[in-house]
A and B are shown apart, each in its own frame.
Chain A
Amino acid sequence: MTILSIILFLFLLIGIFFNGLGSIGLMRFPDVYTRLHAATKCTTFGSIFTSLSVIIFGFYFWKVNGDSKFGVLALHTIIALVCLIITNPTGAHAIARAAYRSGVMPKQAVIDQLKEAKLK
């Protein structure tokens, strides 16, 4: 058990835990907004950690073996991770706005202060 494998194991474990929480929250929560809250934030955080373990793996074996294949793996994973980090919250915001405008209300809500503010 080297230090590298401990770090990778830890990061993959955090990633699995949060991705699992996201998909369980998607199953169990009562309405769209809470499901969006659970699914988007947890899967983004978990995917950051699983990709970070791949990046550390690639840079380590690039430095040790001198094989440029691992360097390409790490750099392309960084690009994919940046795309994921930028696009995921933006898409979630668009979904939440569309859900509100198409008339889906939170399940136990009794007042809608956004609509009252618009009427003034």
Chain B
Amino acid sequence: MTQLLNYFLITGVLLTVFILISLFRLISGPTVPDRVVAMDTINTLIVAGMILFGAAFEEVIYIDVAIVYALLSYIATLYIAKYLERRAKDK
């Protein structure tokens, strides 16, 4: 059982490394949609990592936070996309 919890912990730490790799694209993206894509990827990885850490520390509340985070980040992505579209139409 402890070994299984260690599997989840190691996977969560590796996902954190992937988040850091994606953060580079968020900082250095040439266009605005690049940055939005990087933010979307980071949000997905954060939700997956929260589920893994919740299993590793046996805390259910982490997974509840992950559900809310997934829905809110989806709304944020939709609104940024809508903003980009509207800004292009006005120009």
User: Using a Cβ–Cβ cut-off of 8 Å, how many residues does chain A contribute to the interface with B?
Assistant: 54
How far, in angstroms, from A99 to B70 measured CA to CA in the complex? 22
User: Using a Cβ–Cβ cut-off of 8 Å, how many residues does chain B contribute to the interface with A?
Assistant: 51
Contact A27 B25 (CB under 8 A): yes
Give which listed residue, B3, B31, B55, contacts A5 with CB less than 8 A: B3
How far, in angstroms, from A40 to B37 measured CA to CA in the complex? 8
Q: Is the interface of A mostly helix, strand, loop or mixed?
A: helix
Give which listed residue, B4, B37, B44, B55, contacts A73 with CB less than 8 A: B55
Give which listed residue, B1, B4, B74, B85, contacts A91 with CB less than 8 A: B74
Interface core residue of A22, A54, A83, A98 (most chain B CB under 10 Å): A98
Q: Report the minimal beta-carbon distance from B19 to chain A, rounded to whole angstroms.
A: 8
Contact B24 A19 (CB under 8 A): no
Contact B33 A90 (CB under 8 A): no
Q: Report the minimal beta-carbon distance from A9 to chain B, rounded to whole angstroms.
A: 6
Contact A104 B52 (CB under 8 A): no
Within 74-112 of A, Cβ neighbours of B (below 8 Å) are at 76-77, 79-81, 83-84, 87-88, 90-92, 94-95, 97-99, 101-104
13 cross-chain CB contacts under 8 A:
A8-B4, A23-B22, A23-B41, A32-B33, A32-B34, A35-B37, A50-B15, A80-B63, A87-B73, A88-B44, A95-B77, A98-B33, A102-B85
